[in-house]
Chain A
Amino acid sequence: MNDIVDVLIIGAGASGAAVAWSLAETKMRILCLEQGDWVKPGDYPANGRDWEARLWSDFALHPNLRAAEADYPVNDANSAMKIVNFNGVGGGTILYSAHFPRFHPSDFRVRSLDGVAEDWPIDYATLAPFFAENDRMMGVAGLAGDPSGPKREPPMPPLPLGRTGERYARKMNKFGWHWWPSFTAIATTDYDGRAACINLGHCTPGCAQGAKASVDITYWPRAIRAGVELRTRCRVREITTNAQGMASGAIYYDANGVGTPRILLNSASSRFPDGLAHSSGLVGKNLMLHPWPQVLGYVDDELDGDHGPMMVLCSKQFYETDPARDFLRSYMLALTRVTGPVNEAVTSAAAGRLPWGAAHHRVFRRLNRHRLVIGIGCEDLPEVHNQVTLDPDLEDSNGIPAPRIDYTISENSRRMMDHAIARAEEILETAGASNIFTSRTVLNTPGHLLGTARMGDDPARSVVNAWGRSHDVKNLFIVDGSILGTSGGVNPTATIQALALYIADQMKRRLANLFD
């Protein structure tokens, strides 16, 4: 392709869509290349009777298992956690729970407050207006007044508590611990052309109804109407540079903490022999995957099961660092509904809870719709040895080298996980749950790929500056989860998108000297 464009965006995911929409008002010629395709409403599993089974095939969260044409393989054999992504218009917002918490102000000041990692070059207050704008654009449901964070006024009321939420809430109140209805990017009223959620339940592998805010139905239609061109099934091999060391066109990069370093490292050239934007040596380093233990148990009463979105309540009781604990930084508790009968049967059989033989039916009826699950979002800190590199042997279907992940969970994270798991077990025991089962790491959860091209003021210690521009290549911008300096202890999509809108705003303000 030899088309001349003003702006080339690689990837049509959460932040690429936000950047495209924001920049559209400049009337520049903007083109986005996406290696996957559009997902049509009829494609989603919730349309068919095999809706649960497809989580193990074409809507699997792990790209190696899903193995779609648009997917590239990932060697994660040497990783304590597995990779989750989606390659198509909407990116990760197709396969996410739509849990939409924000990073806390303290998450931007980890060095100043807690003496770990490095402070971000921007702060919460800088992002605040973009958080709010993104809430409006995505359509966020929730409740104002949460004492665990700065003021937030979502445009729609929260998801219902249901039987499951009530059960959790009574027990959290017994402890005197914080809980709040989860902020979710799910329409609870008719909103911006989307109908209110009718509780299909199976949110993570895509919302057939369109109540869940994926960017293919939020940002992209607006961006395209404003003149942005989006081409699908266009895979990018590398970014080329010219004699001035500039990318051969302004590039705005939206992939993730794995896809971004993969292309930058694949873009090595005589000018940039170790990879593009890599003078700091930090491209691919400091990978953060968010250890996410799960604790589950079963109560006597029948609960919501898979009726309704998974997200119910969120607790930030232990979110801020407490010097009395034996770890720094901390975690969020996500008190959730569960998936359906097939998932209950398959996972309980695998765990040995569900027997074979005559007892199968009796036991299954004690499990199905009786499960409570607490997911624990742990902040893992950046560590150079957790990294993405190019695998020497593995390639995608176009012969492009695939990524290799090397990742271990730190001692600080392990102590954090121990503390959190003990609290979750207390909650479930107090809720009257039995058969309590803990998974320290859960296959295919959560899929947050962060930190491998981090932002900062010092070119020796970061890949991009405070507004997403590469220190090395003045017309290359990275606008995705890879630029996060730390991971917080919450789902990152709201923060990644607010950051994308902020960076797009900075670019518009600096158009006259953007590449100086």
Chain B
Amino acid sequence: MDSDALTDNEIDDLRCVAGLMVPASDEYGVPGADDAIIFTDILGSLGRDVAAVQTALAALTLVADARIARIEFPQREAIAAAYRGAGGPGPATLERVILRCYYRDDRVVRALGDEPQPPLPRGRTVEQGDWSLLDPVRRRAPMWRDTPIK
């Protein structure tokens, strides 16, 4: 499993960040990114990002002066906000590895009004649109510069 490189503590911290980043919502009928199914997908999909995730979590621990999973709410949220606000590759790495799995979860995809399936084989429908909008452009005179043959 790709996530073998993460320690148990790192896994706990990553799950904590996932829940802070995308919490569950009754209003929108969606799980959080720390949901068991989604988090399993996140861990299993880290692949070549393992080292970058470890670096990002280590930086977060430095900002928090403790492991994020050990910090209570609401201080945990404030620390995460400060960490993200500082920018840099760490927050972007965590966002990428968490969000790429969150937004392909069946429940999340359905809540957004899509079918949980890859584009192939069914494809999608696109409306033709109103081609009469092109009429004024069709009436324009040529607008390119012709050049004499060399």
- Chain B contact residues, majority secondary structure: loop
A236 partner residues in chain B, CB cutoff 8 A: none
Q: Would you list the 6 A-B pairs with minimal beta carbon distance, nearest first? A: A161-B129, A198-B123, A200-B119, A308-B126, A307-B124, A53-B100
Chain B contributes a number of interface residues (CB within 8 A of A) equal to 58
Within 8 A of B (CB), among A111-160: 112-113, 119, 122-125, 143, 145, 147-150, 159-160
The segment out of B3-11, B53-61, B63-71, B77-85 that lies at the interface is: B77-85
Residue A48 at the B interface, CB < 8 A?
yes
A105 vs B117: C-alpha distance when bound (angstroms): 45
Residue A212 at the B interface, CB < 8 A?
no
Determine whether the beta carbon of A161 is less than 8 Å from that of B128: yes
Within 8 A of A (CB), among B128-150: 128-131, 133-134, 136-138, 140-147, 149-150
A208 vs B120: C-alpha distance when bound (angstroms): 7
A106 vs B101: C-alpha distance when bound (angstroms): 48
Determine whether the beta carbon of A341 is less than 8 Å from that of B129: no
B150 partner residues in chain A, CB cutoff 8 A: 119, 122-123
Determine whether the beta carbon of A105 is less than 8 Å from that of B96: no
Determine whether the beta carbon of A200 is less than 8 Å from that of B20: no
Distance from A414 Cβ to chain B, minimum over Cβ atoms (Å): 24
B47 partner residues in chain A, CB cutoff 8 A: 57
Apart from A166-B129, A169-B129, A350-B96, what are 19 other A-B pairs with CB-CB below 8 Å? A106-B147, A123-B147, A124-B147, A143-B134, A145-B138, A147-B138, A160-B127, A161-B129, A163-B127, A169-B134, A180-B137, A198-B122, A199-B124, A200-B124, A342-B99, A349-B92, A357-B20, A361-B30, A365-B112
Indicate which residue in A150, A308, A346 contacts B100 across the interface (CB closer than 8 Å): A346
Determine whether the beta carbon of A166 is less than 8 Å from that of B130: yes
Residue A209 at the B interface, CB < 8 A?
yes
Distance from A198 Cβ to chain B, minimum over Cβ atoms (Å): 3
B39 partner residues in chain A, CB cutoff 8 A: none
Residue A468 at the B interface, CB < 8 A?
no
Interface residues on A, range: 35 or more
Determine whether the beta carbon of A104 is less than 8 Å from that of B100: no
Indicate which residue in A170, A357, A362 contacts B133 across the interface (CB closer than 8 Å): A170
Indicate which residue in B95, B109, B124 contacts A198 across the interface (CB closer than 8 Å): B124
A163 vs B129: C-alpha distance when bound (angstroms): 6
Indicate which residue in B20, B77, B130, B141 contacts A147 across the interface (CB closer than 8 Å): B141
Chain A 39-67 per-residue mask, 1 if CB under 8 angstroms from chain B, else 0: 00000101111111100110000000001
Distance from B110 Cβ to chain A, minimum over Cβ atoms (Å): 12
Given A57-B48, A162-B126, A357-B119 contact (CB < 8 Å): no
Residue A461 at the B interface, CB < 8 A?
no
B142 partner residues in chain A, CB cutoff 8 A: 147
Indicate which residue in A51, A143, A161, A165 contacts B119 across the interface (CB closer than 8 Å): A51
B87 — nearest CB in chain A belongs to which residue? A352
Distance from A19 Cβ to chain B, minimum over Cβ atoms (Å): 24
A208 partner residues in chain B, CB cutoff 8 A: 119-120
- Chain A to chain B contacts (Cβ below 8 Å), 22 pairs: A46-B118, A47-B118, A53-B101, A104-B145, A105-B144, A113-B147, A123-B149, A147-B141, A161-B127, A161-B128, A163-B127, A169-B129, A169-B130, A173-B137, A178-B137, A200-B124, A201-B124, A345-B95, A357-B21, A360-B22, A361-B27, A365-B112
Distance from B29 Cβ to chain A, minimum over Cβ atoms (Å): 10
A319 vs B144: C-alpha distance when bound (angstroms): 8
Residue A371 at the B interface, CB < 8 A?
no
Given A161-B131, A341-B103, A349-B95, A356-B21 contact (CB < 8 Å): yes
Question: Which interface residue of B81, B120, B127, B145 has the most chain A CB atoms within 10 A?
Answer: B120
B20 partner residues in chain A, CB cutoff 8 A: 356-357
A161 vs B145: C-alpha distance when bound (angstroms): 28
Indicate which residue in A47, A150, A165 contacts B144 across the interface (CB closer than 8 Å): A150
Given A105-B145, A123-B150, A349-B99, A358-B23 contact (CB < 8 Å): yes
* A interface list, Cβ under 8 A from B: 44, 46-53, 56-57, 67, 104-106, 108-109, 112-113, 119, 122-125, 143, 145, 147-150, 159-163, 165-166, 169-170, 173, 176, 178-181, 198-202, 208-209, 304, 307-308, 316, 319-320, 340-342, 345-346, 349-350, 356-358, 360-362, 365, 368
Given A105-B144, A350-B92, A356-B81, A361-B25 contact (CB < 8 Å): yes
A148 vs B147: C-alpha distance when bound (angstroms): 14
Determine whether the beta carbon of B99 is less than 8 Å from that of A346: yes
B84 partner residues in chain A, CB cutoff 8 A: 356
A106 partner residues in chain B, CB cutoff 8 A: 144-145, 147
Chain B 95-121 per-residue mask, 1 if CB under 8 angstroms from chain A, else 0: 110011111100001001010111111
Question: Which interface residue of A53, A180, A342 has the most chain B CB atoms within 10 A?
Answer: A53
A341 vs B113: C-alpha distance when bound (angstroms): 11
A50 partner residues in chain B, CB cutoff 8 A: 45, 100, 104
B136 partner residues in chain A, CB cutoff 8 A: 173, 176
Given A166-B129, A320-B144, A147-B137 contact (CB < 8 Å): yes
A106 vs B140: C-alpha distance when bound (angstroms): 19
Determine whether the beta carbon of B124 is less than 8 Å from that of A308: yes
Given A109-B147, A180-B137, A56-B100 contact (CB < 8 Å): yes
B145 — nearest CB in chain A belongs to which residue? A106
Question: Which interface residue of B77, B104, B142 has the most chain A CB atoms within 10 A?
Answer: B104
Within 8 A of A (CB), among B20-46: 20-23, 25, 27-28, 30, 45
Determine whether the beta carbon of A360 is less than 8 Å from that of B23: yes
Distance from B27 Cβ to chain A, minimum over Cβ atoms (Å): 7
A95 vs B37: C-alpha distance when bound (angstroms): 32
A57 partner residues in chain B, CB cutoff 8 A: 47-48
B109 partner residues in chain A, CB cutoff 8 A: 341
Question: Which interface residue of A147, A166, A201, A361 has the most chain B CB atoms within 10 A?
Answer: A361
A181 partner residues in chain B, CB cutoff 8 A: 134
Determine whether the beta carbon of B28 is less than 8 Å from that of A361: yes
